[in-house]
Amino acid sequence: MKSYKAYAKVNIFLKVTGKRGDYHEILSRFVLVNNLYDTLTFVPKENDDFVIYGDFNCETAQNTIYKAFKALLEATKSERLKRLMQSHAVKVAKKIPSFAGLGGGSSDAATYLLMCNEVLHLGLSRDELAVIGAKVGADVPFFVYDYQSANVSGIGEIVEAFDEPPLNIKTITPKIEISTPKVYQAFREQFYKELSIDEQIRLSHISSLDALEEMTPEEANDLFEPALLLYPKLEQQHEKGWFFSGSGSSFFTVAKG
């Protein structure tokens, strides 16, 4: 069967704009990393259980691909979807590090939704798939839309394409497993600040390269300082000219040329 690529992303900037219950509203520029991706394929299997082949460090029930299956099944009630997952497993060639701020789990979930939509001819639009994906994770809608670059806001459900040339992004991921909920909690308790409307408008129009030129890593990502507080070893991994993606632990830079 055909293979599908699930690309990584970085956050050029990530600013908290407010709170919505237990969630934080954000404004962020998401950009795909074209040289880093997982590969997903449907492969035949013998038993009826839902099976994922791949290098994952969680139970199947906690895997974002399985959660995407459950959300898609709930939305469509598709018997064809049930039969597909009884006869086939999802094989994942995992290249995107986990707990790294690169969106690997969200990208896998979005790619699974797109695969099922295509293979089963479900006829769902990207908007409909994004709504389903948002039930799996805040970053999933971005990957559903497959934009090279986008402004992402709300709690991740508002995705607006941003027109700019693709960037040649290099990433490094220290072997530090970071808890996103803990980083957000530290931000809320010790670093909380909201972004003015004027600054939100300015950032939503600035190119990614200009944003990186004019901001320090601390200014670009509101989660960098709380992550440093919780995981001091990050400081030893941070090099000049590299920026922090998501809640970490990955750093990135844009290669010239």
- For 192, how many CA atoms within 13 A lie in the half-sphere containing its CB? 10
Question: Of the candidates 37, 33, 176, which has an alpha carbon nearest to the alpha carbon of residue 95?
Answer: 37
Question: Rounded to whole angstroms, how far apart are CA atoms 240 and 88?
Answer: 46
Is 198 a catalytic site residue? no
Residue 131's contacts (CB-CB under 8 Å, 6 or more residues apart) are 141, 157
Which of 5, 9, 55, 222 is an active site residue? 9
Residue 75's contacts (CB-CB under 8 Å, 6 or more residues apart) are 128, 132
Question: Rounded to whole angstroms, how far apart are CA atoms 18 and 231?
Answer: 24
Is 139 a catalytic site residue? yes
Sheet order of strands, 169-172 included? 169-172, 251-254, 243-244
- Residue pair 243/252 in contact (Cβ under 8 Å)? The answer is yes
The answer to whether the bond into 149 is cis (omega within 30° of 0) is no
Question: Rounded to whole angstroms, how far apart are CA atoms 140 and 248?
Answer: 17
Question: Rounded to whole angstroms, how far apart are CA atoms 80 and 124?
Answer: 14
Which of 38, 108, 139, 222 is an active site residue? 139
Torsion (CA) 177, 137, 40, 103 in degrees, nearest 10: -40
Please identify every residue annotated as catalytic: 9, 139
